[in-house]
Protein backbone atom coordinates (compact mmCIF):
# COMPACT_ATOMS: atom_id res chain seq x y z
CA UNK A 1 0.00 0.00 0.00
CA UNK A 2 1.25 3.48 -0.73
CA UNK A 3 1.67 5.85 2.13
CA UNK A 4 -0.69 8.81 1.87
CA UNK A 5 0.78 12.25 2.39
CA UNK A 6 -0.84 14.15 5.23
CA UNK A 7 -2.95 17.02 3.98
CA UNK A 8 -0.86 20.16 4.01
CA UNK A 9 -2.32 23.64 3.95
CA UNK A 10 0.26 26.40 4.35
CA UNK A 11 -1.29 29.15 6.42
CA UNK A 12 1.64 31.55 6.47
CA UNK A 13 4.32 32.43 3.94
CA UNK A 14 7.37 31.88 6.12
CA UNK A 15 10.85 32.94 4.97
CA UNK A 16 13.19 30.20 3.81
CA UNK A 17 16.54 29.45 5.36
CA UNK A 18 19.34 31.17 3.47
CA UNK A 19 20.78 27.85 2.26
CA UNK A 20 17.49 26.42 0.99
CA UNK A 21 15.58 26.72 -2.25
CA UNK A 22 11.92 25.73 -2.46
CA UNK A 23 10.84 24.27 -5.80
CA UNK A 24 7.22 23.67 -6.75
CA UNK A 25 5.17 22.55 -9.72
CA UNK A 26 1.60 23.66 -10.34
CA UNK A 27 -0.72 22.98 -13.26
CA UNK A 28 -3.26 25.82 -12.96
CA UNK A 29 -5.67 24.24 -15.46
CA UNK A 30 -6.53 26.52 -18.40
CA UNK A 31 -5.24 29.71 -16.79
CA UNK A 32 -6.46 32.21 -19.35
CA UNK A 33 -8.07 35.64 -19.65
CA UNK A 34 -10.00 34.71 -22.79
CA UNK A 35 -13.80 34.70 -22.70
CA UNK A 36 -15.43 31.31 -22.35
CA UNK A 37 -16.71 31.60 -25.93
CA UNK A 38 -13.19 31.72 -27.39
CA UNK A 39 -12.85 28.88 -29.96
CA UNK A 40 -9.40 28.00 -28.58
CA UNK A 41 -11.00 26.86 -25.32
CA UNK A 42 -13.09 23.77 -24.52
CA UNK A 43 -16.81 24.40 -24.96
CA UNK A 44 -17.68 23.55 -21.36
CA UNK A 45 -14.97 25.74 -19.80
CA UNK A 46 -16.29 28.55 -17.59
CA UNK A 47 -14.37 31.80 -17.26
CA UNK A 48 -12.78 32.42 -13.88
CA UNK A 49 -14.25 35.21 -11.76
CA UNK A 50 -12.26 37.97 -10.00
CA UNK A 51 -12.84 36.03 -6.78
CA UNK A 52 -11.32 32.91 -8.33
CA UNK A 53 -8.19 34.85 -9.27
CA UNK A 54 -8.05 36.34 -5.77
CA UNK A 55 -8.10 32.84 -4.28
CA UNK A 56 -5.41 31.62 -6.68
CA UNK A 57 -3.14 34.53 -5.80
CA UNK A 58 -3.64 33.76 -2.13
CA UNK A 59 -2.52 30.18 -2.69
CA UNK A 60 0.51 31.36 -4.69
CA UNK A 61 1.52 33.56 -1.75
CA UNK A 62 0.96 30.79 0.79
CA UNK A 63 2.98 28.35 -1.28
CA UNK A 64 6.01 30.55 -0.53
CA UNK A 65 8.18 28.90 -3.17
CA UNK A 66 11.24 30.37 -4.84
CA UNK A 67 10.60 28.81 -8.26
CA UNK A 68 7.29 27.38 -9.47
CA UNK A 69 7.15 25.28 -12.63
CA UNK A 70 3.85 26.16 -14.30
CA UNK A 71 1.62 24.35 -16.76
CA UNK A 72 -1.44 25.40 -18.81
CA UNK A 73 -0.63 29.13 -18.79
CA UNK A 74 -2.10 31.32 -21.56
CA UNK A 75 0.46 34.10 -21.52
CA UNK A 76 2.19 36.38 -19.02
CA UNK A 77 -0.88 38.52 -18.38
CA UNK A 78 -2.79 35.49 -17.13
CA UNK A 79 0.13 34.43 -14.95
CA UNK A 80 0.34 37.94 -13.48
CA UNK A 81 -3.21 37.57 -12.12
CA UNK A 82 -1.88 34.80 -9.85
CA UNK A 83 1.76 35.81 -9.32
CA UNK A 84 2.23 39.46 -8.31
CA UNK A 85 4.64 41.04 -10.83
CA UNK A 86 6.21 43.02 -7.99
CA UNK A 87 7.40 39.74 -6.49
CA UNK A 88 7.72 37.39 -9.46
CA UNK A 89 9.07 37.23 -12.98
CA UNK A 90 7.42 34.92 -15.51
CA UNK A 91 9.13 32.84 -18.16
CA UNK A 92 6.98 30.84 -20.61
CA UNK A 93 7.74 28.78 -23.69
CA UNK A 94 7.89 30.77 -26.92
CA UNK A 95 4.79 29.36 -28.61
CA UNK A 96 1.20 30.38 -29.24
CA UNK A 97 -0.54 27.52 -27.43
CA UNK A 98 -3.20 28.31 -24.84
CA UNK A 99 -1.59 25.76 -22.51
CA UNK A 100 2.06 26.73 -22.15
CA UNK A 101 4.61 25.48 -19.62
CA UNK A 102 6.87 27.94 -17.87
CA UNK A 103 8.09 29.26 -14.54
CA UNK A 104 7.26 31.85 -11.92
CA UNK A 105 10.56 32.97 -10.37
CA UNK A 106 10.82 34.99 -7.19
CA UNK A 107 12.56 38.31 -7.85
CA UNK A 108 16.11 38.39 -6.55
CA UNK A 109 17.07 35.01 -7.95
CA UNK A 110 19.51 35.08 -10.84
CA UNK A 111 17.95 33.18 -13.73
CA UNK A 112 19.11 32.68 -17.31
CA UNK A 113 16.41 31.46 -19.75
CA UNK A 114 17.51 28.62 -22.04
CA UNK A 115 16.05 27.72 -25.45
CA UNK A 116 12.77 25.82 -25.30
CA UNK A 117 12.96 22.06 -25.56
CA UNK A 118 11.02 22.25 -28.81
CA UNK A 119 11.32 18.56 -29.62
CA UNK A 120 8.77 17.67 -26.92
CA UNK A 121 6.02 19.11 -29.13
CA UNK A 122 5.72 16.13 -31.46
CA UNK A 123 2.81 17.63 -33.44
CA UNK A 124 3.49 21.40 -33.51
CA UNK A 125 1.11 22.14 -36.40
CA UNK A 126 -1.89 20.41 -34.83
CA UNK A 127 -4.74 22.55 -33.48
CA UNK A 128 -4.15 21.06 -30.03
CA UNK A 129 -0.42 20.42 -30.28
CA UNK A 130 1.73 18.90 -27.59
CA UNK A 131 3.79 21.30 -25.55
CA UNK A 132 7.44 22.32 -25.54
CA UNK A 133 9.56 22.25 -22.39
CA UNK A 134 10.46 25.49 -20.60
CA UNK A 135 14.15 25.53 -19.66
CA UNK A 136 15.96 27.86 -17.23
CA UNK A 137 19.25 28.00 -15.31
CA UNK A 138 19.01 29.21 -11.70
CA UNK A 139 22.10 30.54 -9.94
CA UNK A 140 21.58 30.73 -6.17
CA UNK A 141 23.29 33.43 -4.06
CA UNK A 142 25.85 30.93 -2.75
CA UNK A 143 26.91 30.00 -6.29
CA UNK A 144 25.00 26.74 -6.70
CA UNK A 145 23.68 26.24 -10.24
CA UNK A 146 20.47 24.36 -11.01
CA UNK A 147 19.00 23.66 -14.44
CA UNK A 148 15.21 23.32 -14.43
CA UNK A 149 12.84 21.96 -17.08
CA UNK A 150 9.06 22.48 -16.78
CA UNK A 151 7.06 19.92 -18.77
CA UNK A 152 3.46 19.01 -19.57
CA UNK A 153 3.48 15.69 -21.39
CA UNK A 154 1.07 13.72 -23.56
CA UNK A 155 -2.06 12.55 -21.74
CA UNK A 156 -3.78 9.21 -22.25
CA UNK A 157 -1.06 6.79 -21.14
CA UNK A 158 -1.28 6.92 -17.36
CA UNK A 159 0.30 3.55 -16.56
CA UNK A 160 0.22 1.29 -19.61
CA UNK A 161 3.42 -0.38 -20.82
CA UNK A 162 5.28 0.90 -23.85
CA UNK A 163 5.74 -1.29 -26.90
CA UNK A 164 5.05 -1.79 -30.59
CA UNK A 165 1.37 -2.54 -29.96
CA UNK A 166 0.77 0.26 -27.44
CA UNK A 167 -1.70 3.09 -28.04
CA UNK A 168 -0.87 6.23 -30.00
CA UNK A 169 -0.66 8.22 -26.76
CA UNK A 170 1.72 5.68 -25.24
CA UNK A 171 3.90 5.75 -28.34
CA UNK A 172 4.03 9.54 -28.19
CA UNK A 173 4.81 9.49 -24.47
CA UNK A 174 7.62 7.02 -25.11
CA UNK A 175 9.08 9.38 -27.72
CA UNK A 176 8.87 12.24 -25.21
CA UNK A 177 10.59 10.08 -22.59
CA UNK A 178 13.52 9.52 -24.94
CA UNK A 179 13.75 13.27 -25.64
CA UNK A 180 13.82 13.99 -21.91
CA UNK A 181 16.45 11.27 -21.45
CA UNK A 182 18.69 13.04 -23.97
CA UNK A 183 18.22 16.33 -22.10
CA UNK A 184 19.01 14.68 -18.75
CA UNK A 185 22.07 12.93 -20.18
CA UNK A 186 23.39 16.25 -21.47
CA UNK A 187 23.03 17.82 -18.02
CA UNK A 188 24.75 14.81 -16.47
CA UNK A 189 27.70 15.21 -18.85
CA UNK A 190 27.91 18.92 -18.00
CA UNK A 191 28.01 18.11 -14.31
CA UNK A 192 25.18 20.55 -13.51
CA UNK A 193 22.46 19.77 -10.99
CA UNK A 194 19.04 19.53 -12.63
CA UNK A 195 15.37 18.84 -12.13
CA UNK A 196 12.56 17.89 -14.49
CA UNK A 197 9.26 18.84 -12.96
CA UNK A 198 5.67 19.32 -14.05
CA UNK A 199 2.61 17.43 -15.21
CA UNK A 200 3.85 14.12 -16.63
CA UNK A 201 0.31 12.73 -17.02
CA UNK A 202 1.87 9.48 -15.83
CA UNK A 203 1.60 7.39 -12.69
CA UNK A 204 5.05 5.99 -12.01
CA UNK A 205 5.29 2.65 -10.26
CA UNK A 206 8.43 0.78 -9.30
CA UNK A 207 8.80 -0.85 -12.76
CA UNK A 208 7.58 2.05 -14.88
CA UNK A 209 8.60 2.05 -18.55
CA UNK A 210 8.71 5.84 -18.74
CA UNK A 211 10.98 6.24 -15.73
CA UNK A 212 13.22 3.38 -16.87
CA UNK A 213 14.02 5.25 -20.11
CA UNK A 214 15.08 8.35 -18.19
CA UNK A 215 17.12 6.44 -15.64
CA UNK A 216 19.11 4.73 -18.39
CA UNK A 217 20.42 8.20 -19.22
CA UNK A 218 20.97 9.55 -15.70
CA UNK A 219 20.24 8.40 -12.14
CA UNK A 220 17.20 10.21 -10.78
CA UNK A 221 15.44 10.74 -7.48
CA UNK A 222 11.64 10.95 -7.78
CA UNK A 223 10.37 13.01 -4.86
CA UNK A 224 6.87 11.52 -5.15
CA UNK A 225 8.04 7.91 -4.97
CA UNK A 226 5.97 5.70 -2.68
CA UNK A 227 3.46 8.41 -1.88
CA UNK A 228 -0.12 9.25 -2.85
CA UNK A 229 -1.47 12.74 -3.41
CA UNK A 230 -4.11 14.24 -1.10
CA UNK A 231 -5.19 16.66 -3.86
CA UNK A 232 -9.00 16.46 -4.11
CA UNK A 233 -8.89 13.27 -2.03
CA UNK A 234 -12.21 11.74 -0.97
CA UNK A 235 -13.31 8.91 1.30
CA UNK A 236 -11.34 6.48 -0.85
CA UNK A 237 -8.10 8.18 0.12
CA UNK A 238 -5.28 9.74 -1.89
CA UNK A 239 -4.68 9.41 -5.62
CA UNK A 240 -1.55 8.48 -7.55
CA UNK A 241 0.62 11.45 -8.47
CA UNK A 242 0.81 12.47 -12.11
CA UNK A 243 2.74 15.67 -11.34
CA UNK A 244 6.29 14.81 -10.32
CA UNK A 245 9.63 16.35 -9.39
CA UNK A 246 12.62 14.39 -10.72
CA UNK A 247 16.04 15.40 -9.41
CA UNK A 248 19.31 14.57 -11.12
CA UNK A 249 23.04 14.93 -10.58
CA UNK A 250 23.95 16.88 -7.40
CA UNK A 251 20.32 17.93 -6.88
CA UNK A 252 19.61 14.39 -5.65
CA UNK A 253 21.86 15.04 -2.66
CA UNK A 254 20.33 18.47 -2.05
CA UNK A 255 16.80 17.15 -1.43
CA UNK A 256 15.72 17.78 2.16
CA UNK A 257 14.35 14.45 3.44
CA UNK A 258 10.57 14.29 3.83
CA UNK A 259 10.19 17.81 2.44
CA UNK A 260 7.70 16.84 -0.30
CA UNK A 261 4.46 18.73 0.35
CA UNK A 262 1.12 19.11 -1.39
CA UNK A 263 -0.85 22.28 -0.75
CA UNK A 264 -4.53 21.36 -0.84
CA UNK A 265 -7.36 23.84 -1.29
CA UNK A 266 -9.69 24.78 1.54
CA UNK A 267 -12.57 25.07 -0.96
CA UNK A 268 -14.17 21.65 -1.43
CA UNK A 269 -17.18 22.36 -3.64
CA UNK A 270 -17.01 20.65 -7.03
CA UNK A 271 -16.93 23.91 -9.02
CA UNK A 272 -13.54 24.77 -7.53
CA UNK A 273 -11.89 21.89 -9.35
CA UNK A 274 -12.23 24.15 -12.40
CA UNK A 275 -12.31 27.58 -10.74
CA UNK A 276 -8.99 26.85 -8.98
CA UNK A 277 -7.47 23.75 -10.56
CA UNK A 278 -7.84 19.98 -10.58
CA UNK A 279 -4.12 19.95 -9.69
CA UNK A 280 -2.58 21.09 -6.39
CA UNK A 281 0.88 22.63 -5.99
CA UNK A 282 3.56 20.05 -5.21
CA UNK A 283 6.82 21.23 -3.65
CA UNK A 284 10.18 20.15 -2.25
CA UNK A 285 13.01 21.92 -0.47
CA UNK A 286 16.61 21.72 -1.56
CA UNK A 287 19.50 22.41 0.82
CA UNK A 288 22.15 24.05 -1.34
CA UNK A 289 25.90 23.68 -0.79
How does strand 220-222 pair with strand 261-262? Answer: unpaired
pLDDT in tens, 93-140: 999 899 999 999 999 999 999 999 999 999 988 777 899 999 999 998
pLDDT in tens, 187-238: 999 999 999 999 999 999 888 999 999 999 999 999 999 999 999 998 888 9
Cα 211 to Cα 192: distance, rounded to the nearest angstrom:
20
Mean pLDDT, residues 259-287: 97
pTM of this prediction? Answer: 0.92
CB 59 within 8 A of CB 281: yes
Q: Is 255 left (phi over 0), alpha (psi -120 to 50) or beta?
A: beta
pLDDT in tens, 132-150: 999 999 998 888 999 999 9
pLDDT computed for residue 16 by the predictor: 42
pLDDT computed for residue 206 by the predictor: 83
pLDDT computed for residue 234 by the predictor: 87
Q: What is the DSSP letter of 163?
A: S
Amino acid sequence: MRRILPLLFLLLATPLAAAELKLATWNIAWLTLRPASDPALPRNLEARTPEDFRLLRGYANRLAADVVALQEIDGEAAAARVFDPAQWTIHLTDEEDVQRPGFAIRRGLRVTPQPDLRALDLIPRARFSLRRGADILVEAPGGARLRLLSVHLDAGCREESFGRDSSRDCQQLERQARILAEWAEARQREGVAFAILGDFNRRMGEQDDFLAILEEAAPLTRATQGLSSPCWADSRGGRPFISHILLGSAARDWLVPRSLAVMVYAERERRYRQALSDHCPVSVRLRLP
